[in-house]
Every structure is written in C-alpha cells, then in structure tokens.
C-alpha cells in the first residue's frame, strides 16, 4: 500500500485507467513532455505515446470541444485545464454542449469526458490560479462534480470519473497535491466507496462540519483544536458536489443538531447555501442552530499576501462552531 | 455585394443551366444519379414548403427554412459516404435528408416535442446545434477520433472516413469557428468545414462579419479554402467530394465556402422586409438552384414526363406524410424529461422526479376541495 | 403616465439614457436595423446613428470584450445578448475581465457596462432560448445582477443600471415583454426606488413568497388563488439578485414565519438556496417551517411542449405554500 | 524550425550588428535616440536579472522573465506616443518601462502584494492580463472608442491615437485572439496587434499552435500582417511605428509578428531543460538583441566609455531601487481587499467586511481563553 502525494495518486490512477482501457486519452496544455505544470501527467506521454497524451493548442474551448467529438467517436478523453481561472473560454462547450448533448439526443449520445481542474488557494500564486468555481458547474445539469481530499480518494475517484458514462468535472485541491496518504491500489473499482457518497471522516457529537477538497484537512485541524476545548466535531468529507449526498450529512446533523459548511469558494451563491437549504428542509426539527457557512468572501480572489485572510482558516471555522454552539 | 458573382468561384452549371468546365473540379454522373440529385432537391424544397405551411397553421412553433440553399446541402450531403459523420447547424434539412433522416424527426424540434427526433449514431448526423459554431470543435474532435481509429488513408473506400461540419456566414465570427479551423490544421484532421454563406445572419449582411471573402480565413491557418457556387448542385458535389476524398486519404482538412442565398426569412419569426430589398431577392431568384438544374437536365433530355409526374406524386406523398405525421408526433410525457439528463442516477434528479411524480399523481387522485389551478397562458411562437 | 409593454418600457428607458448621456452606446446582434429579435431597441439606430447603435459580428466574447474597451475609453456600452443560452461564449470576458478589472486595478478602472439578457421560459421556444442562468452571474463578485418584473421597473431600472459605475447584468423576463404597465416617466432617477432594494408587492400575513422577474406575476396569481381559500400571501419582488436585499425579505418573514422562494432557474444551486440559507440564519427563531423552494428541475431546459411542467406554475407554488403551512 | 530565420522577415540590423536596408521600412534616429534605445534595452534587462534574483531570494513568489525579448518590447514600446494605449500580457516589462511605469509596480504582482501597482489611466498601460489573449478584445474596443472620440485621422500628432495589444505565440490559438483581429478588421479600428512569437508557450513549441507562420493569420481577415525580427530593436521600432501611424491616420489595424525567443524559463517555476535543448538556446544567444545593437552602436562610434559607465551606474541604481523597494512594498491590509470589488456598496460585501472586521478585532481584544489558532502553512511559489 504505497504512500503517495495526492498529485502522484492521480497520476497513478490515470495510468491504471489508461492501461485498462485503450480508449482513455489525455488532453491539455503542457501535459505531455512537461508532464503538466503540477506534474500530474508526468511520464504518461512517454509511456502511452503522443496519440494518447496530447499537448494541445492553447485553447480551452478547443480542448473541451474536441474532447466531445472524441467521446462521440468512442474515446474517453480526460482534459486538464491548467488552472481554475482558465476554464472560462471552454464554458460554452461545457454548458451548452458537453452537459446537454445526452438530454438533447434523448440518451442516444454518451459523453464520458472528464475535466480535471486544479482548484483552491493557499499556494501563494498569482491571479486566476487559486479560485474555486465549483458552484458554477454544480448548477449545470448534465455534469457531475466531484473532488477528492486524500490520495486514496484521488486515486480511485479519478478512475471512477473516467469510468462514468456522464461528463465529470474533477476538481483537484492544489494545496493538497503534495500531501501524502496511503493508497490501497489492490482493490477494484467495484470495491471502493461509490463516487457519489459523502464520508464521515471523524466522529463527534457536538457540531457537524461539512467540507470538501482542500477544506477537509482544515476541518480536521479544526476538530483537533476544538477537541482540546472539549468540543467534538463530526467532519464530513462531501466528496461529491453534484449530486450532493444530502443524506449522509442529514444523518449526522440529526445527531449533532448543528452544521457548519466550509469551502474556499465565496459563500454568496456557493455550494454551502444549497447544502444549508437542503439540510434545513430535511432536518428542520433537529437543528438547534441555523446552518452556518464559512467560505471565501464575495470578492475576486485577492493577491497572494492576503489570501490567508480571504480563505477560511482554522480560526474562522472554530469561530463558526462557537457561534453555532452559542445559538 | 450580395448578388454579384465573386471571383474564383467554382461553377459547373451556370444560372441558365449551361454545363461549364472547371480546370480543377468535375463530376461524371450517370443519368440516374443526376435524376437522384434532382429528386433530392425537389423533395427537400417540398419539406420546407410544407413545414412553413404547418407553422402558419400552428402545428409548428417555428421553422428555419432552407429555401435557396438546397443545392449546397444536397450537393455536399450526397458527397458523404455512409461511414462519414455530419455535424449540422439548425438549417441543414437537406443534409439530414441525405443522411436518411425522416423529416418528421426535424419537425419534432420545431413543434417542440423534442430537441431532435433522429438517432445521431445510426444516421451519423449529429443533433442540430443552435449555438452557432458550437458543433465545429466536436466535429474536429470526431475527426481526430477517426484518425486514432486508423480509419484514414487505408485506401479502403468502405473504411476511410471523413467528417463534415456545417456553419453559416454569421457563425464564422465566433472564436470557436476559428479554433476549429486551427485544430483541424494542426492535427491534420480528416474534416471538411462547410460554410453556407447565404449572405445574411438574420438581419446582418455578411459585410458585418468580414471585410474579405470568408474562404480566405482558411489561408490564415494553412488550410485550403475553396469558394463554390452554392446554388450549383454539381459544383457543390464535386468540390465537397474532392475535399472529403482528400480528408479520407489523410490529406487533411478543407474549408469550403458555398456562396448561396437565404431566399426566405431567417425563421418564421423573422420579417426580412425590415432589412433587405425585394430587388436583391429577385437577383438571387434568377440563380435558383432547382431551376438551373432542371434546365440542365432538360437540355440533356433527361427529364421526361413520367419522371416528373412520379416525382410530383412522391413529393405530394411526402407532404402528406408530414401533415399527418406532425399531428401524431407524441406529446412528451411530463416525467420523460427526467430520463436523459444523466446516464446513471443523479440523487437530486431522482428526488425531483419522485416529488414531481407524486405531485402529478395528487391531481389524478382528485383530492376533495378541488381542481388544480390553471396555468397562466403562454405566449407561444413569438421568438426564434 | 403611459401604459407600456415591458419591452417598450426598456426601449423608452434606453432612449432616455441615450438622450441624457452621449457616451451611452448600444451593441449587439440584430439590434440596429432590425431593432432586436424582441424589438427592444426598435428605432434607436435610426435616431442615434450607427456609431451609437452597433450591429456587431456574431461573437458574444467580441461584444463584451470590446464593450470593456469602450468603457475604459469613457463610454457606457449596453450590450444585448440575443438569448440567455448564447451568453456563454462571452463568459470568459465577463468573469475574468469585466467583473475583476476594477478590483485588479485597485479601483482605478471603472467598468460601467450593462449586459441585457432576455431570460426565462414560457414562450414556447427552442433550445437555449428559455433558460435562467442568473445564479451563475450572482456568484461572480464584481457583477451586479438585477431583473425587473414590471414595465415601470423596466423603464427605471435600465436607466439605473446604465448609470451604475459597476457592471450590471440586466435580466429581462421574456414572457413578460408584452405585459403592459403604467410607467411614471416624469420622475427622476433619484426619486424612484433604489436599484438594489426588494419590494413588497402584496401584503399578507400567512406566508411570504419571494420571486423575481417572470415569477413575480406568478406569485401574485398564486396569491389571488390562495386568497380565495383564505390564505394571505405576502409577495416580495426581489428585483435585485446581487446584491440580494435580504433585509426586506427577513422583515416580512419575521411577520409571516414562512417563506417560499420561486424562480424558474433550477432549484439545485439556484438563487433560492442562497436566500433560504440567509433567511434561515437571520430568522431562525421566527421560522415556523423550513424555507421551501419552487423552481426548475435539475435538467436541461426541456422541449417547448413540456415546459409548462418544467416551470413552476401557480399550482406548484400553492403546493409549496400548503406544505409550508402544514409544517 | 526555431532558430532559422523565416522568409520575409523585416530586419534592419543583422545579428552581427550590421545595418541593412529594407525596401518598406526604415528609421532615421538621432544619436541620442539610438543611445536612448540602448539604455532602455540594458535597463529592462537589468530589471529582469534583478527580479530573478529577488525571486531566488524569496522576495518574489514568481517571476515571468523577458530575457531575449527586450528589442521587441522596447522597439514597439518606444513607437508609442503618450496618448496611445497599450494592453500587455504578463511579460511586457519592457513596454511598461516605456510607458513610464516604475518596475516596482510590476514586482507587486509577483510578490503578491497586489494585482498590479500602476495607474492604468495615467500610464495608459492596461493592467497585466494573465488569461491569455483576453486583453485583445478590450484593446480593440478601446480603439473603437478612440474612433468615436474623433481622435483618428485629424492630422494632429498630439491628438491622433492608436492602441497596441500584445500577445504571445501560444495565445494566438485562443478564439478571442481571432475575434479581436476580425473586429479590428470589420470596424477598421486604430489598433496594432503585436505578437511576440518567442517560439515557446511554456513547454509547447509554436508548431503545436499553428502549421503556418503566425502572421499569415492576418491575411485571413484582410488585415496586413508583418513579420519582423523581434531581436532587432530598429526593425521593431520601424515596423510598429509604421503600423501605429497607419492606425492613427485612420488606415486601420495591423498584425505584427515579432520573431524572437524566450531565452529564460517561462517563469521561475518552469524548468525549460525538460523540453528544449541547450543547442537551440545557443543558436538564439548568437542573435541576442542587446549584443547586436551594441555592436552597431560601436561600429557607428556612438558608445563611449562615459556613456557605458554612466549607464552601468544607472542600472546599478535601478537594481538597488528594486532590491530596497521590494522589501518595502506595503503588505496589503486584510480589510483593503473589500475596497475595490465594487465602486458602490454591495450589501453582501459590506456585511462580510463588517463581520470580518469584527472577527479580526476579536483577536486584538484578546479575549480570555486564548490566542488564535495557527493557520496551516501554505506552500508558496510552487506554481505559476
Ligand atoms: C452563440 C449564438 N449567438 C446568437 C445566436 C442567435 N442566432 C441564431 S441564428 C443567428 C444567425 C446565424 O447566421 P448564420 O451563421 O449566417 O446562419 P444562417 O441562419 O444564415 O443559416 C443568430 C444570431 C445563436 N444561435 N448562437
Ligand atoms: C486562457 C489561459 N489558459 C492557460 C493559461 C496558462 N498559461 C499561462 S502562460 C501560458 C503560455 C503562453 O504562451 P505564449 O502565449 O506563447 O506567451 P509567452 O508566455 O511565451 O510569452 C499558459 C498556457 C493562461 N494563462 N490562460
Ligand atoms: Mg447566414
Ligand atoms: Mg510564447
């Protein structure tokens, strides 16, 4: 059971998928010779050739648009968008074509396309490199949206995403790329947790904290800190954003009576609002306090030297926990 | 200037129906092939006529006509082989016809019973795409798939495959159209980008889109650009066939500009008298693609009365098929919309399906206290 | 006080703005000679000339991108996106440039650009013509998002949007274009209701119904029907989506204890979730029932003959009201 | 093939520093103008050297170097008049220099204290744009504004205005780049689209973007496309000046491809040895833009020791200004980020500002029970 950084776990997952199915292709900018700016595709062009690992022209609409055509011809393209803020040139292809072609053709067309998007902040980078646009994709029917928080999930979820007959937007938490974790590579795709289930990653009785991608570790750190003060946080790693596994969170909230949702994306219009609305609807009589949200502010992602203030940190999570407990 | 013949346009038939030679392009067709093309032209025009009538009668919400563009569509459509793939806009009813699609499948879209009533896999005709130019990158990607399948340059005419992607003159302005051309060039993809320059994009003349002829765009990325008389079915067939052959043999992409004219309105919601002159339309009426081809066939002595009578009867039958069929197109069941957004269940969709089913059932159950309140009236058919 | 259809009220508002300020320009596809596919700009090119009312190439990125440049040079461009589903080619310019340039330049650049987008369904149209993508814009900081429900608001709000120093996405409810209403044209911009305030359009004590754009009339129709059964709905026309006027809704909910939000956009990830989360946070102890939402389903907009089932209708609103009252 | 001189490239100075004639382009400069250009080249290279060093020392998170592209940037930048507007990418430090921007303002971006430290209105230099090609449509729009202001073709050199928009070879693949060219053509906008083809887009050679020379793209939309030696400051000045003059006089847009080379890494996060050979870099080193210009000035007897010593001192002073200044760049105050998203208050932003201010204040108030928990460490500077 190797101990892999999250980026390497995705690399291994891509490799396994490519070995299993010759129709799996990788497409993107600098993913071939260079192995991607985060080295997630390192070594794959060397081993699988240029026909299966394509360095593309610098055009995101082109990447997604041609991936659609390749999928129609039976391929399973996995597209890398170099950074979160550069996905918008492809937005038309994603929203009007990729997401809708199945419905438009009454299920006659299948679009097994994966879009890998590094997202989130905390790496001290420049504009457009640290954003969290997942809510924009979650609102678009026809897409599935998931994000792993650990190396093990990264390894398996990328394979599940590739195996999905539906288009999947796969958000990779940038600042966790170098976090290591054990990966059980001997299991099979059927054995591991389903792609669209949330997971309780820490048990606790006082407040449920729901997080995904980069904020899962943050929630766990907050839980450690809270435990020192005697507050037991239950941490749920959502894993899947569309569909949203409301049931797993509701089950937890029915026990704790309190929920704090944490994501890096701006709170306003973010995924947390949707979860809050659904949990409140389902658990209205169990809730001891309103669902609270901790997220980015309704601001363009700021310059790197101020991002620690923009991003939810342990303290802001704990502050919300305190407010929830005080309600 | 709409109306004048542009320089360098490939033509094999003059507007008067005279067969002319071209140094680079030719077609040698058997009489039955020529008559087959004529049949196609007449029947697709009949589909258009009938659909317009059905729209006026309220059976369709909208119709996007092809009047005047029959030759460009039949010429290019008949150049395709069964294994080829076509990616149309919303106006390629003639191409759909050549792909063996029942026009009723198209009427579904304009009646509003579905977003497309044919099997795109079986017919190798992609669903109509309303977002202009958005079908082109998928077309190029499909061609890249063909390449990867080794279905190019084998010399086997049943195997070698090409892709054709259609767009209008207005659509050439979309960045995606440029990207498609460029990707085709960079990957040497077996694809033909076929632009029907019908001189208008709704109310905008082609001069709003470009200052130079559209086919020159291809030069910019090193793709051959060919200008063809889009009202000349033989020239369209010859040029498209050559381009597709080139693609199938591994020679790479071609951009074709078919110079033609939208004789009717943009759609039935449009009123072209607001933006163009009757005189302009008259100029183009004199170049009608069917008239000219009929004159040619007549001059060759190929059109006899038996054939035209039979064709007239076939057209009438087709019209009747549409008239009867359109009224029988099944109304979509309310719950069916939940079936195809995803291949595998999606929790929120399933939940909404169940809730909505229960909600609908609550009316059937007719609980005491009343009927469902009425839906507010919708203002149908006011837009395109 | 003329009685104008909503489309004509916008036309009149544009005309007034253009007369007042020579820097106001209109840009879009078919907006000149044709007057736009909905005739909203009818007659304006004739009266203000081609330099101020531009028929553009068919490229939405081009429209928004050049509008940005014109704004930088001191103009106030008002862009028409022909239909809601055709805005995505411009999404990159909207999200990465239009919305962010002010923040990126630390307030040194001003982007007074208005994007007019006809939205919503109910007009029996084909794909991409009836969608409600407002949530995608609301989540993007730097943009303001508003929508009028009446002719009077249409006339004044378009002028306020044009006067705003910030970019404004102005959603026009397609199926209300032909609805007539009195327009007080003699007032001044300073007199009328501020752009970013919601408005209670019907008083009622039992349940608050919040709606915007095309669903305001729907909510009023539901209120009529409910009144027959003795249920008094309070109807709030949100008018502004970003910012969201939470205070006006909260004030109402504190009295009624119940809230139903109605929009045509898919419920999942829609504006209703955000409003539900905020109202629950503010009014937790006043709420007698969870906030309920009535919206489109998480599906691509369906074919016209089934849209009446996809869209929230009076009955679905009343059903939600009943469920709220039963909670 | 990177390295070989392409056909039809405008050159006024050979790599050996020999002055050559060109039938269409020339510049006649006074000695002090020539020395001014040399000074610019030397100083912007010094900015680059210093910024790289500061990045290695951890003072900057990242740096995108211009080594090798000084002539293209100074040549084009010095062709601008005060009233002109420039729309850069993220690499036009030499252009920024010509627009009078203190390089410290650029370092703010790469240190992470702001997204840009100059006043774009005062300098008529748009903020750096990281989304490739996204600055071009705004540049064209600005030029359309210039037209509407009547600041074109008046003959008044202080009034007639042009716009220049920069992009890289890789960025030419974006649909928006094509749209920008086309809008410029259709509206005859007073704009120069200036492409620095530095042969690489991170790890991708220009052959991944296009099969034909980039400047040919202009032909496709009827815009003149000029290929210029991007390592020849005189040719870049001459070609850009002519293009800007044409724009200012109402002659319309020009596309310029400056053929050059990125001698360093894409950014300090990049390792070019992974994708290109030392031999290739050597070929280009022999064409260095500063070496060749120095040889020319020497051969003309224009460079004396006084000048070079003074310039060396000036460069040293500039470097010291950067070294000292970068450390003194003010750290952004946490609450300042709330100031500029909107010109007028936005309810949610104001609410968040207040809550966050109260939250921050709660630490100052040092409530009983403790310090704020520590932030998790960030992994800075690992990406571009
Ligand atoms: C991206 C996009 N923008 C706008 C529209 C609205 N629209 C539909 S058809 C049309 C004109 C298209 O003209 P052209 O490409 O010449 O094709 P034609 O209709 O003439 O066949 C427009 C603007 C659209 N469908 N897609
Ligand atoms: C839309 C977009 N996609 C991807 C990127 C990531 N990226 C940054 S620079 C770069 C290469 C650009 O190459 P080129 O245009 O040749 O400019 P150069 O860096 O060589 O000056 C890429 C892919 C980006 N900034 N924007
Ligand atoms: Mg057209
Ligand atoms: Mg480059």
- Residue B233 structure tokens: 């079915």
Residue D169: what pLDDT? 98
Ligand 2, CB cutoff 6 Å, lining residues: A 29, 58, 60, 82, 86, 89; D 91, 130-132, 168-171, 198, 200-202, 262, 266
- Residue C6 structure tokens: 């909503």
Residue from B132, B207, B275 to probe ligand 1 pocket by mutation (most atoms less than 8 Å from CB) = B132
DSSP run (H or E) holding D243: helix D233-248
> Does the pLDDT value for residue D253 go beyond 60?
yes
In a domain, A193, yes or no: no
**Position of tokens 């833009």?**
D289
B222: left (phi over 0), alpha (psi -120 to 50) or beta: left
Q: Give the pLDDT band (50/70/90) at residue D366.
A: low
The answer to whether residues B144 and B162 belong to one domain is yes
- Which of B308, B327, B346 represents a domain boundary (last residue)? B327
User: Which of A236-245, B257-266, D358-367 has the weakest average pLDDT?
Assistant: D358-367
Contact B308, B38 (CB under 8 A): no
The answer to whether residues B264 and B227 belong to one domain is yes
Integer Cα distance of D366 and B367 in angstroms:
62
Residue D135: DSSP 8-state: T
Residue from D202, D207, D209, D258 to probe ligand 2 pocket by mutation (most atoms less than 8 Å from CB) = D202
The answer to whether residues C30 and C169 belong to one domain is yes
The answer to whether residues B174 and B39 belong to one domain is yes
Range of the domain at B356: 334-383
Integer Cα distance of B362 and B374 in angstroms:
15
- Residue A88 structure tokens: 């918008």
Provide the number of structural domains found in chain C: 2
The answer to whether residues A162 and A248 belong to one domain is no
In a domain, C190, yes or no: no
In a domain, B261, yes or no: yes
- Which of C182, C215, C242 represents a domain boundary (last residue)? C182
In a domain, B287, yes or no: yes
Which residue, by CA, sits nearest to atom 19 of ligand 2?
Answer: D201
Residue A291: what pLDDT? 98
Q: Write the secondary structure of chain A as one string of H (helix), E (strand) and C (coil).
A: CCEEEHHHHHHHHHHHHHHHCCCEEEEECCCCCCCCCCCCCCCHHHHHCCCCEEECCCCHHHHHHHHHHHHHCCCEEEEECCCHHHCHHHHHHHHHHHCCHHHHCCCCCCCCCEEEEEECCCCCCCCCCCCCCHHHHHCCCCCEEECCCCHHHHHHHHHHHHHCCCCEEEEEEHHHCCCEEECCCCCCCCCCCCCCCCEEEECCCCEEEEECCCHHHHHHHHHHHHHHCCCCEEEEECCEEECCCHHHHHHHHHHHCCEEEEEEEECCCCHHHHHHHHHHHHCCCCCCCCCEEEEECCCCCCCHHHHHHHCCCHHHHHHHHHHHHHC
In a domain, C189, yes or no: no
The answer to whether residues C267 and C155 belong to one domain is no
Integer Cα distance of A296 and A267 in angstroms:
6
Query: For chains B and C, what is the number of CB pairs under 8 angstroms?
Result: 158
The answer to whether residues A150 and A213 belong to one domain is no
The answer to whether residues D319 and D340 belong to one domain is no
Mention every residue, 6+ apart, whose C-beta is less than 8 A from residue A50: A32
- Nearest chain B residue to C225, by CA: B373
Residue from D73, D95, D170 to probe ligand 2 pocket by mutation (most atoms less than 8 Å from CB) = D170
Q: In the beta sheet, which residues pair with residue D259?
A: D197, D229
- Residue B121 structure tokens: 């896999």
| Catalytic residue ranges of D | 262, 266, 275
The answer to whether residues C165 and C264 belong to one domain is no
Integer Cα distance of B232 and B11 in angstroms:
7
CATH number at residue A302: 3.40.50.920
CB contact under 8 A, C123 and B331: no
Rounded to the nearest angstrom, the minimum Cα separation between D158 and chain B is: 30
Residue B384: what pLDDT? 25
Which residue, by CA, sits nearest to atom 11 of ligand 2?
Answer: D201
Residue B381: what pLDDT? 26
In a domain, C188, yes or no: no
In a domain, B369, yes or no: yes
Report, as an integer, the average pLDDT of B120-141: 98
CB contact under 8 A, A273 and C273: yes
Q: How far is the CA of B260 from the centre of ligand 3 (A)?
A: 9
The sign one gets for the Cα dihedral D263, D269, D273, D277 is negative
Q: C-chain residues within 8 Å CB-CB of B170? A: 57-58
- Which of B327, B347, B370 represents a domain boundary (last residue)? B327
The answer to whether residues C211 and C296 belong to one domain is yes
The answer to whether residues A106 and A233 belong to one domain is no
The answer to whether residues B98 and B184 belong to one domain is yes
Range of the domain at C140: 3-182
In a domain, B258, yes or no: yes
Q: What is the pLDDT of residues A162-180, one digit of tens each?
A: 999 999 999 999 999 999 9
- Nearest chain D residue to A43, by CA: D274
Contact A290, A320 (CB under 8 A): no
Neighbours of A279 (CB within 10 A): 26
Which residue, by CA, sits nearest to atom 3 of ligand 2?
Answer: A86
Query: SS3 helix, strand, coil % of chain D, rounded to 5?
Result: 45, 10, 45
In a domain, D2, yes or no: no
Provide the number of structural domains found in chain B: 2
Q: Compute the C-alpha angle C65/C68/C69, nearest 5°.
A: 95
Q: Are strands D85-87 and D163-168 parallel, antiparallel or unpaired?
A: parallel
Residue B374: what pLDDT? 39
The answer to whether residues A22 and A59 belong to one domain is yes
Write out the E strands in C174-325. Answer: 180-182, 199-202, 207-211, 233-237, 240-242, 259-266, 292-296
CATH number at residue D156: 3.40.50.970
φ, ψ (nearest 5 deg) of residue D318: -60, -45
The answer to whether residues D231 and D82 belong to one domain is yes
Contact D169, D197 (CB under 8 A): yes
Q: Which of B128, B195, B373, B380 to mutate to test the interface with C (most CBs of C within 10 A)?
A: B373
| Catalytic residue ranges of A | 129
In a domain, B84, yes or no: yes
In a domain, D158, yes or no: yes
> Does the pLDDT value for residue D1 go beyond 70?
no
Integer Cα distance of A38 and A118 in angstroms:
9
The answer to whether residues B293 and B368 belong to one domain is no
D202: left (phi over 0), alpha (psi -120 to 50) or beta: left
**Position of tokens 């691509």?**
C300
Residue A26 or residue B364, greater confidence: A26
The answer to whether residues D310 and D353 belong to one domain is no
The answer to whether residues D80 and D213 belong to one domain is yes
Taking the Cβ of residue A100 and every Cβ of chain C, the question of whether any pair is shorter than 8 Å is answered with yes
User: Does pTM top 0.95 for this prediction?
Assistant: yes
Residue B172: DSSP 8-state: G
Q: Which stretches within B119-168 are classed as H helix?
A: 120-123, 136-148
Contact A156, A189 (CB under 8 A): yes
- Which of A149, A182, A215 represents a domain boundary (last residue)? A182
The answer to whether residues C27 and C170 belong to one domain is yes
The sign one gets for the Cα dihedral A84, A85, A91, A95 is positive
User: Does ligand 1 have an atom closer than 6 angstroms to the CB of B201?
Assistant: yes
In a domain, C123, yes or no: yes
The answer to whether residues D141 and D173 belong to one domain is yes
Q: At what angle do helices D289-299 and D31-56 cross, to 10 degrees?
A: 150
In a domain, C194, yes or no: no
> Does the pLDDT value for residue B221 go beyond 50?
yes
Of B85, B93, B126, B262, catalytic = B262
The answer to whether residues A24 and A59 belong to one domain is yes
CB contact under 8 A, A141 and B119: no
Integer Cα distance of A214 and A210 in angstroms:
12
Q: What dihedral angle (degrees, nearest 10) is formed by the CA atoms of C189, C190, C195, C201?
A: -90
Q: How far is the CA of D262 from the centre of ligand 4 (A)?
A: 7
Q: What is the pLDDT of residues A77-119, one digit of tens each?
A: 999 999 999 999 999 999 999 999 999 999 999 999 999 999 9
**Position of tokens 């899947």?**
A240
Contact B126, B120 (CB under 8 A): yes
In a domain, B4, yes or no: no
- Which of A116, A150, A182 represents a domain boundary (last residue)? A182
Closest by CA position to C101, among listed C10, C5, C16, C166? C166
- Nearest chain D residue to B213, by CA: D221
Closest by CA position to C309, among listed B150, B375, D144? B375
Identify the segments of chain C with pLDDT beneath 50: none
Q: How far is the CA of A27 from the centre of ligand 2 (A)?
A: 16
The answer to whether residues B305 and B368 belong to one domain is no
The answer to whether residues D317 and D377 belong to one domain is no
The answer to whether residues C173 and C78 belong to one domain is yes
Report, as an integer, the average pLDDT of A58-71: 98
In a domain, A229, yes or no: yes
Report, as an integer, the average pLDDT of A56-77: 98
Return mean pLDDT, chain B: 94
Of C129, C206, C263, C309, catalytic = C129
Q: A-chain residues within 8 Å CB-CB of B134? A: 65, 92-93, 96-97
> Does the pLDDT value for residue B376 go beyond 90?
no
Taking the Cβ of residue C136 and every Cβ of chain A, the question of whether any pair is shorter than 8 Å is answered with yes
Integer Cα distance of A272 and B351 in angstroms:
19
Q: How far is CA B226 from the centre of its chain?
A: 19
Residue-by-residue DSSP string for D36-74: HHHHHHHHHHHHHHHHHHHHHTTS-S-----TT-HHHHH
Residue D364: what pLDDT? 78
Residue B187: what pLDDT? 98
> Does the pLDDT value for residue B255 go beyond 60?
yes
Active site residue B123: no
The sign one gets for the Cα dihedral C33, C36, C38, C41 is negative
In a domain, A10, yes or no: yes
- Residue B327 structure tokens: 């009224």
CB contact under 8 A, A135 and C269: yes
The answer to whether residues C154 and C99 belong to one domain is yes
């Amino acid at each position: 059971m190797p101990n892999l950084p999250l980026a390497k776990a995705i690399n291994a997952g891509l490799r396994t998928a490519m070995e299993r199915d010759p129709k799996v292709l990788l497409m993107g900018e600098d993913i071939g010779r260079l192995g991607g700016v985060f080295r997630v595709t390192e070594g794959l062009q060397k081993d699988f050739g240029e026909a299966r690992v394509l360095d593309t022209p610098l055009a995101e609409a082109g990447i997604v648009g041609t991936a659609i055509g390749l999928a129609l011809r039976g391929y399973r393209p996995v597209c890398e968008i170099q950074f979160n803020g550069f996905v918008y040139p492809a937005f038309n292809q994603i929203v009007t074509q990729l997401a809708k072609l199945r419905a438009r053709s009454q299920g006659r067309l299948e679009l097994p396309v994966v879009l890998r998007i590094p997202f989130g902040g905390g790496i001290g980078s420049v504009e457009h490199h640290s954003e969290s646009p997942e809510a924009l994709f979650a609102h678009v029917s026809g897409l599935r949206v998931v994000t792993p928080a650990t190396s093990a999930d990264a390894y398996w979820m990328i394979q599940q995403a590739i195996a999905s007959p539906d288009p999947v937007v796969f958000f990779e938490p940038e600042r966790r790329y170098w976090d290591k974790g054990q990966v059980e590579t001997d299991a099979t795709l059927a054995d591991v947790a389903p792609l669209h289930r949330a997971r309780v990653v820490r048990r606790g009785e006082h407040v449920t904290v729901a997080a995904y991608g980069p904020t899962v570790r943050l929630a766990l750190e907050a839980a450690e800190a809270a435990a020192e003060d005697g507050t037991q946080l239950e941490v749920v790693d959502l894993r899947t954003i569309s569909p949203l596994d409301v049931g797993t969170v509701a089950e937890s909230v029915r026990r704790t009576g309190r929920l704090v949702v944490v994501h890096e994306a701006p709170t306003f219009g973010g995924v947390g609002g949707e979860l809050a609305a659904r949990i409140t609807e389902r658990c209205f009589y169990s809730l001891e306090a309103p669902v609270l949200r901790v997220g980015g502010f309704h601001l363009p992602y700021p310059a790197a030297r101020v991002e620690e203030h923009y991003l939810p940190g342990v303290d802001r999570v704990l502050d919300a926990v305190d407010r929830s407990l005080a309600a | 200037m709409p109306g004048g013949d542009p320089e360098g346009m490939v033509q094999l038939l003059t507007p008067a129906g005279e067969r002319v030679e071209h140094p680079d392009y030719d077609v040698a067709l058997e009489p039955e092939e020529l008559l087959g093309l004529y049949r196609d032209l007449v029947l697709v025009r009949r589909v258009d006529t009938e659909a317009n009538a059905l729209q006026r009668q309220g059976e369709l919400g909208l119709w996007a006509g092809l009047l005047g563009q029959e030759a460009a569509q039949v010429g290019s459509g008949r150049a395709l082989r069964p294994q080829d793939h076509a990616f149309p806009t919303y106006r390629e009813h003639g191409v759909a016809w050549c792909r063996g699609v029942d026009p009723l499948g198209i009427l579904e879209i304009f009646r509003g019973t579905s977003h497309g009533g044919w099997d795109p896999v079986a017919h190798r005709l992609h669903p109509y795409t309303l977002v202009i130019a958005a079908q082109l990158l998928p077309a190029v990607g499909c061609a890249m798939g063909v390449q990867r399948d080794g279905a190019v340059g084998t010399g086997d005419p049943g195997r070698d495959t090409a892709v054709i992607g259609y767009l209008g003159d207005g659509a050439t302005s979309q960045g995606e159209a440029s990207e498609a051309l460029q990707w085709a060039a960079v990957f040497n993809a077996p694809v033909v980008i076929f632009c029907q320059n019908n001189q208008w994009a709704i109310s905008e003349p082609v001069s709003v889109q470009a200052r130079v002829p559209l086919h020159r765009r291809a030069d910019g990325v090193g793709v051959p650009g060919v200008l063809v008389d889009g009202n000349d079915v033989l020239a369209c067939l010859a040029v498209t066939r050559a381009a597709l052959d080139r693609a199938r043999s591994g020679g790479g992409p071609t951009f074709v500009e078919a110079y033609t004219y939208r004789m009717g309105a943009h759609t039935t919601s449009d009123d072209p008298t607001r933006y163009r002159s009757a005189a302009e339309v008259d100029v183009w009426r004199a170049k009608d693609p069917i008239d000219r081809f009929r004159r040619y066939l007549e001059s060759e002595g190929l059109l006899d009365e038996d054939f035209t009578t039979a064709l007239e009867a076939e057209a009438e039958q087709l019209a009747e098929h549409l008239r009867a069929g359109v009224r029988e197109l099944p109304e979509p069941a309310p719950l069916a919309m939940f079936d195809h957004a995803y291949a595998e269940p999606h929790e929120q969709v399933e939940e909404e399906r169940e809730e909505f089913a229960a909600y609908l059932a609550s009316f059937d159950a007719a609980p005491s206290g009343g009927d469902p309140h009425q839906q507010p009236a919708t203002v149908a058919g006011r837009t395109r």
